[in-house]
């Protein structure tokens, strides 16, 4: 069992998470409330990298702008409300 560094009680979401920028879900990057989807995103990301034998997003230490650009180029446009 893993919490990917961001375990919290459902009624007490953290103000920040201690997760690599490469693994951050878009909801955190856009300052949306954090929920259980964080773990689903991180698990999917790690499974892709493990079984796909390649990085989901490139770079070693990207900043959040680099990560968002990678998300857009890989997954398509972001929702309008972001």
Closest CA to 8 of 31, 45, 37: 37
Q: What is the mean pLDDT of the chain?
A: 74
Over residues 23-50, the pLDDT tens digits come to 777 767 776 777 777 778 878 888 887 8
Whether residue 2 has pLDDT greater than 70: no
Confidence of residue 55 (pLDDT cuts 50, 70, 90): confident
* 3-state helix/strand/coil string of the chain: CCCCCCCCCCCCCCCCCCCCHHHCCHHHHCCCCCCCHHHHHHHHHHHHHHHHCCCCCCCCCCCHHHHHHHHHHHHCCCCCCC
Residue tagged 């459902």 (tokens): 10
Mean pLDDT, rounded, for 3-9: 68
Q: Greater confidence, 4 or 71?
A: 71
Instruction: Tell me the whole-structure pTM to 2 decimals.
Output: 0.55
């Amino acid at each position: 069992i893993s919490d990917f560094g961001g375990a919290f009680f459902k009624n007490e979401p953290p103000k920040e998470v201690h997760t690599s920028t490469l693994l951050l879900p878009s909801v955190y990057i856009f300052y949306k409330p954090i929920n259980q989807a964080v773990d689903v995103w991180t698990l999917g990301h790690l499974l892709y990298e493990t079984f796909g034998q390649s990085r989901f997003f490139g770079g070693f230490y990207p900043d959040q702008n680099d990560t968002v650009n990678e998300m857009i180029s890989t997954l398509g446009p972001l929702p309008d409300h972001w």
